[in-house]
């Protein structure tokens, strides 16, 4: 049977996709080049945003030594909040505004990189916090001009934030998690040294690794850009434009890397190859979702993370109780992909195949089941909770979860089929228990 054309032109939809390319340098040990890279960008005095857990570790020492040797002056900011807030972003922006810096370096996980992005934005182009925040909570005002150079150096194999133009945070007063997505906020260079992730606890590898997988599978199964409304002016084409031929390549590559290496990386801390390849998967998935966007599992994660403040997940014992982002996403993913599969079954089948499921002789209509069965198998192998029920959620929580998950229009719009509030409730119900 001939495969359907996913990008068939439509009368109403967009006729173009754009590639916001990210500059990436990847390699074991490449962090020693940080100082040289900063110098090449003309930086003389940088704000060095550092995860406090990273501060006394080898990557921090390597980064500082490299900057010193290159003659780049720096000041460290390590008041990074894991799961940042409007307040923590603005505190970082104040530090940035007062420090007379000509650039930014971030060394840490997604929270650290996102905090540096926000500090760069608000210190370079000061505004009220909500000015740049995504709709519907903020005004989604575009930054009025370029930001300062930012070199992002991830130390976890998860968010892919080093290649995206998004910073995620909670708005405390509104009790919502949302984001700032600004084209100009993409780091100038992603400097990715997979040796920095070698010491991650297994639980963190699992949580961040499943974040990677959801990024890649959601990007691959997102609605095609040709069915998203055509922008009135070129600059209104959104950062997250829907699945497109560019993001497809990196999505499938990231899914196959995750399928091959995630379970290995979690189970064996000495499996250096698996941990390095998972870092490559994270960056690769960042390239895909940074152009395509994510949809239902991420939208629904906001409800789970926003309502559960009692979980102490493996590997996160030193943090305040919370549901790590990747876990909040993957716990909804099987339910969400079951819902989405009928809209583009062949894409779900291809994703299942890339993930390592046996898809020989399978028809596209089996794609959703093959994909979700494989994901559930990987969740079980890595010791993840059995659905949101294992975190304490019950039927009684469905209305509040639904309210929060449904209130993410920028993500819901990218699902491959229309989503009603009832659909979201049904998916949360489906996600309470998987085995
Ligand atoms: Fe994510």
Q: How many Cα atoms sit within 13 Å of 201 on the Cβ side?
A: 10
1 confidence band (pLDDT: 50, 70, 90) = low
What's the CATH number where 134 sits?
Answer: 3.40.50.1970
Compute the distance from residue 73 Cα to the ligand 1 centre, in Å. 33
Domain boundary among 192, 210, 238: 192
- Each residue's pLDDT tens digit, 366-410: 999 999 999 999 999 999 999 999 999 999 999 999 999 998 888
Map 305-326 to HEC letters: HHHCCCCECCCCCCCCCECCHH
Residues making up the chain, counted from first to last: 435
Q: What is the mean pLDDT of residues 116-131?
A: 98
Stated pTM of the model: 0.93
Compute the distance from residue 355 Cα to the ligand 1 centre, in Å. 18
**In a shared domain, residues 207 and 273:** yes
* pLDDT value for 317: 78
Compute the distance from residue 159 Cα to the ligand 1 centre, in Å. 6
Could you give the number of structural domains in the chain?
A: 2
The dihedral built from the CA positions of residue 403, 405, 409 and 414, taken in this order, carries a sign that is: negative
Q: What is the mean pLDDT of residues 342-367?
A: 96
**In a shared domain, residues 223 and 166:** no
Compute the distance from residue 70 Cα to the ligand 1 centre, in Å. 34
338 confidence band (pLDDT: 50, 70, 90) = very high
Nearest CA to 325 among 351, 299, 287? 299
**In a shared domain, residues 186 and 287:** no
The whole domain housing 219 covers 4-18+201-430
Compute the distance from residue 188 Cα to the ligand 1 centre, in Å. 21
**In a shared domain, residues 139 and 268:** no
* pLDDT value for 358: 96
Compute the distance from residue 289 Cα to the ligand 1 centre, in Å. 9
**In a shared domain, residues 227 and 181:** no
pLDDT surpasses 80 at 2: no
pLDDT surpasses 80 at 318: no
Compute the distance from residue 208 Cα to the ligand 1 centre, in Å. 8
* pLDDT value for 306: 80
Query: How far, in Å, are 114, 152, 302, 393 from residue 299 at the CA level?
Result: 18, 25, 6, 17
Name the range with the highest mean pLDDT among 49-53, 215-219, 234-238: 215-219
Quote the tokens at residue 177. Answer: 């998690």
pLDDT surpasses 90 at 83: no
């Amino acid at each position: 049977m001939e495969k359907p054309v996913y990008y068939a032109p439509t009368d109403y939809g967009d006729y173009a996709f754009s590639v916001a390319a990210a500059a990436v340098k990847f390699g074991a040990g490449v962090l020693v080049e940080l100082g040289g890279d900063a110098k090449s960008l003309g930086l003389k005095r940088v704000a060095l945003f550092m995860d406090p857990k990273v501060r006394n570790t080898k990557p921090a020492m390597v980064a500082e030594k490299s900057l010193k040797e290159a003659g780049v002056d720096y000041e460290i900011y390590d008041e990074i909040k894991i799961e940042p807030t409007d307040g923590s972003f603005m505190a970082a922006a104040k530090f940035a505004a007062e420090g007379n810096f000509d650039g930014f370096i971030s060394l840490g996980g997604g929270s650290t990189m996102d905090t540096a992005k926000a500090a760069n934005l608000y210190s370079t182009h000061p505004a009220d916090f909500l000015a740049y925040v995504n709709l519907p909570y903020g005004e989604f005002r575009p930054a009025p001009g370029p930001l300062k150079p930012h070199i992002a150096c991830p130390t976890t194999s998860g968010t892919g934030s080093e290649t995206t133009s998004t910073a995620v945070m909670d708005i405390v007063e509104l009790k919502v998690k949302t984001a700032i997505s600004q084209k100009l906020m993409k780091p100038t260079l992603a400097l990715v040294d997979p040796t920095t992730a070698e010491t991650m606890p297994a639980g963190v590898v699992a949580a961040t690794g499943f974040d990677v997988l959801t990024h890649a599978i959601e990007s691959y199964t997102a609605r095609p850009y040709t069915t998203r409304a055509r922008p009135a002016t070129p600059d209104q084409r959104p950062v997250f434009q829907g699945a497109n031929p560019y993001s497809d390549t990196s999505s499938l590559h990231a899914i196959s890397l995750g399928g091959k290496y995630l379970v290995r990386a979690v189970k064996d801390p000495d499996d250096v190859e698996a941990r390095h390849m998972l870092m490559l998967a994270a960056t690769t998935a960042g390239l895909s979702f940074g152009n395509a966007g994510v949809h239902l599992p991420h939208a629904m994660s906001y409800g789970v993370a926003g309502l559960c403040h009692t979980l102490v997940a493996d590997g996160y014992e030193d943090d305040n109780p919370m549901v790590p982002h990747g876990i909040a996403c993957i716990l909804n993913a099987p339910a969400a992909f079951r819902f989405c599969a009928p809209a583009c079954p062949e894409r779900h089948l291809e994703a299942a195949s890339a993930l390592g499921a046996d898809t020989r002789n399978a028809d596209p209509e089996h794609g959703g089941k093959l994909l979700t069965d494989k994901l559930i198998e990987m969740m079980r192998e890595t010791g993840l909770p059995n659905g949101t029920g294992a975190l304490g959620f019950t039927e009684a929580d469905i209305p509040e979860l639904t309210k929060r998950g449904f209130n993410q229009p920028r993500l819901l719009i990218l699902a491959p089929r229309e989503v009603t509030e009832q659909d979201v409730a049904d998916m949360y119900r489906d996600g309470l228990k998987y085995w």
